[in-house]
Amino acid sequence: MTSPLASPISLPNGSVLPNRLCKSAMTEGLADKFDLPTAELMQLYKTWSQGGTGLHITGNVMVDRRYLERAGNVVLEDDKNVELFRQWAEQGTIGGNHLWVQLNHPGRQCPKMVSTQPLSPSDVQLAMLGNFARPRPMDHSDIEEVIGRFITSAQLVKQAGFSGVQIHCAHGYLLSQFLSPKINQRQDQWGGSLENRARIIRRIIVGVREAVGADFPIGVKLNSADFQKGGFSLEDCITVARWMGEDGVDLLEISGGTYEQLSLIGVEPTDVRESTRKREAYFIEYAERIKQSAKIPVMITGGFRSRDVMERAIESGEVDVIGLARPLCTDPDCSAKLIQQTIQDIDCYEDKLVLGTGFWGNNSSSNLIKAINSFGQVGFYYWQIIRLSKGLSPEPELATFKAFLRHMTNDFKLNLKRKFG
């Protein structure tokens, strides 16, 4: 019996994805000191492209080199180096898959080592490890510039030969900050009501559609909720999803959380029922209501680890596309194996990447332990990405604390390289 994961899906604009599996975006940190794609980045996506996944979405490609999610981000803000991006698109589609570019602006989630005065709707500072400066509230011209940058970058994505574009409106980055009443405290046309808070996103989507034409896929990544009191809620998400369907979005990816609430990487998932945990997907609890509102294909990313659960989610119509991220770091061919039904489970390393009470005594709930566990897990998968980018096999035996140290050291080196060459 053929797996439901193997079935193609037609998007509203007529584009066809070859199967129901997607490599969701993961930050790669593989740009050169000029924020441009490198041979390593192309090797990484060539490897992933040959693994059987129907749709690949790049990690954060920034629309303004003054503001990055982290050093090592690729930036696409002008046409000076379109040929490099064209090479990336060619290598990343060698397996016959789609490759979409995720466009993003970090807003206040821009590290101090990149900018000491990031932008945000309001001056609400991200209080996390002292790594983020108080943002400057954007004025009207700042907002119009950001809208223009997203539109320009999307045009360049199409010019370079990529298959589509995704606008990042989740995980506490700039467009997500506009949606959050906790962060967006404006009283003008860009704040207050949900309609006003979503205005910048709707302007970007409509502008991008006009710029790239009707036949070029546009995706959006949206939080089901911020999982923070006073933040963007599920009810908000359902309404915004409906607007996105009306504005011409072709695929809506649902995720959740922010830097302050790390549900986005499976750490401390909030408001998830036990029945949902057993079904693996962190955000599938909300998929049905969001799908009904948006009336467009919906992808859920986060937590899927067994083929049976994925196949049931597709067969039942709960979701249209399954988003995978970390499993493709430790087994870049896992999508082909899932579709061929030669494996049942994929990467379950997260459970092993947790320091126990014996590491620092009995204070296992300390902030230090939580930080090392969280960033150690992140570092573990970053290290696999680095190995794949060099044409090497994954290193699944890497220990949590070692991964934590490598990740911190690597990020520091990326900042130094960008600043001083």
Question: Model confidence over 75-129: pLDDT tens digits?
Answer: 999 999 999 999 999 999 999 999 999 999 999 999 999 999 999 999 999 876 6
pLDDT at 263: 39
Q: Of 94-103, 147-156, 159-168, 412-421, where does mean pLDDT reach its minimum?
A: 412-421
| Mean per-residue pLDDT, 357-375 | 58
The sign of the torsion formed by the CA atoms of 338, 344, 348, 349 equals: negative
pLDDT at 123: 96
Residue 394 CA to residue 351 CA, distance in Å, equals 18
Mean pLDDT for the chain overall: 89
- Nearest one of 12, 128, 48, 2 to 335, comparing CA atoms: 48
The torsion of the CA quartet 148, 149, 152, 153, rounded to 10 degrees, works out to -150
42 — pLDDT class (breaks 50, 70, 90):
very high
pLDDT at 5: 98
From the CA atom positions of the chain, what is the Rg in Å? Answer: 20
**What burial class does residue 62 get, using C-beta atoms within 10 Å of its C-beta: 0-12 exposed, 13-18 middle, 19+ buried?**
buried
Does domain 4-347 sit in CATH 3.40.50.1010?
no
Q: Match 């490609």 to its residue by tokens.
A: 61
Q: Please give the angle made by the CA atoms of 324, 156 and 26, to the nearest 5 degrees.
A: 20
* Most confident of the following: 268-272, 276-280, 365-369: 365-369
pLDDT at 266: 43
Percent of the chain with pLDDT over 70: 86
| Mean per-residue pLDDT, 176-197 | 97
> pLDDT tens digits for 5-40?
999 999 999 999 999 999 999 999 999 999 999 999
Q: Reply yes or no on whether the pLDDT at 260 is more than 60.
A: no
Cβ distance 120 to 174 under 8 Å? yes
Q: At 360, is the secondary structure helix, strand, or coil?
A: strand
What residue ranges do the domains of the chain occupy?
Answer: 4-347, 351-421
Cβ distance 379 to 407 under 8 Å? yes
> pLDDT tens digits for 321-362?
999 999 999 999 999 999 999 999 997 676 565 554 444 444
For the whole model, what pTM was predicted? Answer: 0.91
283 — pLDDT class (breaks 50, 70, 90):
confident
More confident residue, 392 or 287: 392
Q: Of 18-22, 173-177, 253-257, where does mean pLDDT reach its minimum?
A: 253-257
Q: How many CB atoms lie within 10 A of CB 311?
A: 19
DSSP 212-272: H-TTS-EEEEEES---STTS--HHHHHHHHHHHHHHT-SEEEEE---SSSGGGGTSS--S-
Q: For 103-138, give one letter per residue: b (16+ CB within 10 A) or e.
A: bbbbbbbbbebbbeebbbbbebebeeeeebbebeeb
**Which amino acid is residue 141, in one-letter code?**
S
